[in-house]
Amino acid sequence: MDENRVIIFDTTLRDGEQSPGASMSVDDKVALALQLERLNVDVIEAGFPISSDVQFEGVKLVAAKVRKPTICGLARCIDQDIDRAAAALERAARPRIHTFIATSKIHMDKKFRKSEAEILEMAIKSVTRARGYVDDVEFSPEDSARTGKEFLFRIIEAAISAGATTINVPDTVGYSNPEEFGQLIREIFERVPNMRKAILSVHCHNDLGLAVANTLAAIRNGAQQAEVTINGIGERAGNCSLEEVVMALKTRESFYRKHTAIKTDEIVKTSRMVSKVTGMIVQPNKAIVGANAFAHEAGIHQDAMLKDRTTYEIMTPESVGWGDTKIVLGRHSGRHGLKSRLQDLGYNLGKEDLDKVYERFLKIADKKKEVFDADLEALVGDEIQDFSEAFMLEYFHILSGDKVLPTATIALKHKDTIIQDASVGDGPVDAAFKAIDKIINSPVKLIDYSLQALTGGKEAMGEVHVTIANNGRKFVGRGASTDVIEASIRAYLHAHNRLLHAGSKSESEH
């Protein structure tokens, strides 16, 4: 591979999924992995197979269905972890086992109560075992940025000698800064004699908001792979964001003299998909993918932009996939027009699914004169489920005002029967959720609720995300409508249906 190419290793499905509340179903993972393939990432870390059956199945299915990128599974330096990762990756076209062990003094003393010699031996043994299964093995000395340098150099050298093909240097707790981290990478190249026999990767967390800066500093000092997530999601403050690193390298190519293979015009679509699946809304001022990233408000700016866009725009919105938000369809648009627009957006729906979306589309188009791409995407997300729903919304009636007790009547369809119930609540949404709880009769706790307008104007579609918890497991639901109460009901029902679909299987924490 060309030496100026930076390998993009996406860990949205593994480290990203470790964000609080961001757990993904197996089907979510496959859909996202297929989109990551369209985005053209080089490596997809699909999960941590030993940590649960769902994780194992997720890696297994991604490995079977996604053929172009390398598919990677995570494993501690423990035999069973490595065997399980190898089993999950059996059908991968290009499998990689990623094995890790903490090497900082604080982790070795407090977490493992093991000596440097013992940790070194575990690393060598695990890399050797992983190489028995696959040719592509990545080794990470966890908490590298706080690891004593002499030991770090020694364990990296030993891992390469044992067969590691990629060495990943994580700043696990986001402690480093660009000068220090760049220097560490430079020293690894200088002090580890066999470093050039493997790829040097970096993996930065964002606890001090420096993950992207640290990653770029590492690339300036020779790192060849960047570990990233879409929207920067991940443990605590998250991981290095894919879109920011990729666009920094592209926009400032004459400075960095590096490039990636990412199809940047797929970035926004991927970001939206991750946000939908995880229920984690992207902040409006987020670089590249935030709703305001290309919005120009100040009059002076707007005036200059009309004269020449490059006065205030260092990259075009189109280059990252912000299509123009043109009116796509209206109430007179036919089924054919809807089908063809959905195809342009990447949705090839069968007749039954198209009928469902068309029916909802007509209702929305009746209320809203202009239907935008974002509205259509939300409708597809609402109507097309990757599992059969146990309960479907038949109708709802809300009574609300400042002098009445908010009351909701809800009717749900369950196995050809219509079940109706009513409840009062603190507000109309609360009343509706309580009525749903009465019908479904499955105890859940609402732990998060958020509402976002998808497009502008007073008839904008609202998208609601809710997270519910049941027996320690969390489920995200989403719903969209021009009516925020209907969107809330759909989101809550979606979360309940996901819980019912997951059944009583219990997933162990990782």
Question: Virtual CA dihedral for 49, 50, 54, 55, nearest 10 degrees?
Answer: -30
Nearer to ligand KIV by Cβ, of 76 and 286: the residue is: 76
Contacts for 114-117: CB closer than 8 Å, 24+ residues apart: 116/151
- Under the binding rule (CB under 5 A), the answer on residue 45 touching Zn ion is no
Q: State the minimum distance, in angstroms, from the CB of residue 422 to Zn ion.
A: 47
3-state secondary structure of 351: helix
- Under the binding rule (CB under 6 A), the answer on residue 170 touching ligand KIV is yes
Q: Which region, judged by CB under 6 A, interacts with ligand KIV, from 51-59, 120-128, 164-172, 296-304?
A: 164-172
Residue 149: how many other CB atoms lie within 10 Å = 12
Q: Are 409 and 420 in contact (CB under 8 A)?
A: yes
Q: Which region, judged by CB under 6 A, interacts with ligand KIV, from 168-176, 218-226, 359-367, 442-450?
A: 168-176
Q: Give the Cα separation of 315 and 251 in Å (integer).
A: 7
Nearer to Zn ion by Cβ, of 169 and 489: the residue is: 169
- Tokens encoding 11: 């860990």
Nearer to Zn ion by Cβ, of 15 and 81: the residue is: 15
Q: Which region, judged by CB under 5 A, interacts with Zn ion, from 13-21, 184-192, 253-261, 276-284?
A: 13-21
Count, residues in the chain: 510
Nearer to ligand KIV by Cβ, of 142 and 382: the residue is: 142
Q: Pick the binder of ligand KIV from 28, 142, 437, 463 (CB under 6 A).
A: 142
- Under the binding rule (CB under 6 A), the answer on residue 107 touching ligand KIV is no
**Which of ligand KIV, Zn ion, none does residue 258 bind (CB under 5 to 8 Å by kind)?**
none
Phi-psi category of residue 462: left, alpha or beta, with phi > 0 → left and psi -120 to 50 → alpha: beta
**Which of Zn ion, ligand KIV, none does residue 383 bind (CB under 5 to 8 Å by kind)?**
none
Q: Pick the binder of Zn ion from 10, 15, 17, 266 (CB under 5 A).
A: 15
What mask of x and - would describe binding to ligand KIV in positions 185 to 214, judged by CB under 6 A? Answer: ------------------x-x---------
**Site residues for ligand KIV, window 277-306 (CB under 6 A)?**
none
Q: State the minimum distance, in angstroms, from the CB of residue 506 to ligand KIV.
A: 24
Q: Give the Cα separation of 41 and 8 in Å (integer).
A: 6
**Site residues for ligand KIV, window 426-445 (CB under 6 A)?**
none
Q: Give the Cα separation of 321 and 271 in Å (integer).
A: 10
Question: Virtual CA dihedral for 103, 109, 113, 119, nearest 10 degrees?
Answer: 20
Q: Pick the binder of ligand KIV from 51, 55, 172, 206 (CB under 6 A).
A: 172
**Which of ligand KIV, Zn ion, none does residue 140 bind (CB under 5 to 8 Å by kind)?**
ligand KIV
- Under the binding rule (CB under 6 A), the answer on residue 15 touching ligand KIV is yes
Number of residues that bind ligand KIV (CB under 6 A): 9
Q: Give the Cα separation of 11 and 44 in Å (integer).
A: 6
Q: State the minimum distance, in angstroms, from the CB of residue 96 to ligand KIV.
A: 13
Q: Is 334 exposed, middle or buried (0-12, 13-18, 19+ CB in 10 A)?
A: exposed
Question: Virtual CA dihedral for 482, 484, 487, 492, nearest 10 degrees?
Answer: 180
Q: State the minimum distance, in angstroms, from the CB of residue 47 to Zn ion.
A: 13
Q: Give the Cα separation of 358 and 156 in Å (integer).
A: 57
- Under the binding rule (CB under 6 A), the answer on residue 140 touching ligand KIV is yes
Residue located via tokens 């993950």: 211
Question: Virtual CA dihedral for 258, 185, 139, 270, nearest 10 degrees?
Answer: -40
Number of residues that bind Zn ion (CB under 5 A): 1
Residue 445: how many other CB atoms lie within 10 Å = 9
3-state secondary structure of 147: coil
- Under the binding rule (CB under 6 A), the answer on residue 100 touching ligand KIV is yes
- Under the binding rule (CB under 6 A), the answer on residue 49 touching ligand KIV is no
Q: Give the Cα separation of 444 and 363 in Å (integer).
A: 31
Q: Which residue number places its CB atom closest to Zn ion? A: 15
Write the CB contacts of 417 (distance below 8 Å, at least 6 apart in sequence).
none
Q: State the minimum distance, in angstroms, from the CB of residue 66 to Zn ion.
A: 21
- Under the binding rule (CB under 5 A), the answer on residue 17 touching Zn ion is no
Residues paired with residue 72 on neighbouring β-strands, in sequence order: 45, 96
Q: Are 289 and 271 in contact (CB under 8 A)?
A: yes
**Which of Zn ion, ligand KIV, none does residue 100 bind (CB under 5 to 8 Å by kind)?**
ligand KIV
**Which of ligand KIV, Zn ion, none does residue 481 bind (CB under 5 to 8 Å by kind)?**
none
Interacting residues toward ligand KIV by CB under 6 A? 15, 100, 140, 142, 168, 170, 172, 203, 205
Interacting residues toward Zn ion by CB under 5 A? 15
